[in-house]
Each structure stands twice: as structure tokens, then as C-alpha cells.
Amino acid sequence: MMMIMVVVVVVVVKVVVHSVRSILFELRQDFVQQFERFFHIIGCVCFESILDRVCLRHRPSYTLRPA
């Protein structure tokens, strides 16, 4: 009888741990995707502003005049 209870407790604990791990893994995946998206947007904005400054600095003056 004691052996059966130990087996049942072990199985229940394994199921609970597995479900908690899968939930945490899904939450982590969502967090990582949001984090990557955020830094992709920030990186694009920073890169574009740096690129604009560099291009404006090295662009010949005749391209800045209105057509």
C-alpha cells in the first residue's frame, strides 16, 4: 500500500513539474520574441538615424539644393 502511494505521488509530481516547465517555456518564448522585436525596432531606428547623419555629412552640397 505504501509503495502504491509513493508511485502515485511521484507520478503526480512529475506531471505537475512537466506542465509547469512547458508553461514557463511558452512564456519564455513569448518574452524572447517580444524582446527581439523591441530591440529590432530600436536597432533599426538607431541605425537609420546614424546612417542619415553619415550620409548627410558626406553628401555633396549640390544634392542638398532644391531641384
The number of helices, as runs of H, and strands, as runs of E, in the chain is 1, 0
pTM (two decimals) = 0.47
Whole-number pLDDT of residue 62: 52
The pLDDT score that the predictor gives to residue 65 is: 54
- The domains of the chain are located at 8-36
**Lookup result for grid cell 531641384:** 67
Give residue 58's pLDDT.
Answer: 57
Q: How far is CA 25 from the centre of its chain?
A: 13
Q: What is the pLDDT of residues 3-62, one digit of tens each?
A: 899 999 999 999 999 999 988 888 888 888 888 888 887 777 777 777 777 766 555 555
**SS in 3 state form for 23-36?**
HHHHHHHHHHHHHH
Question: What pLDDT was estimated at residue 18?
Answer: 92
Alpha-carbon 23 to chain mean position: 17
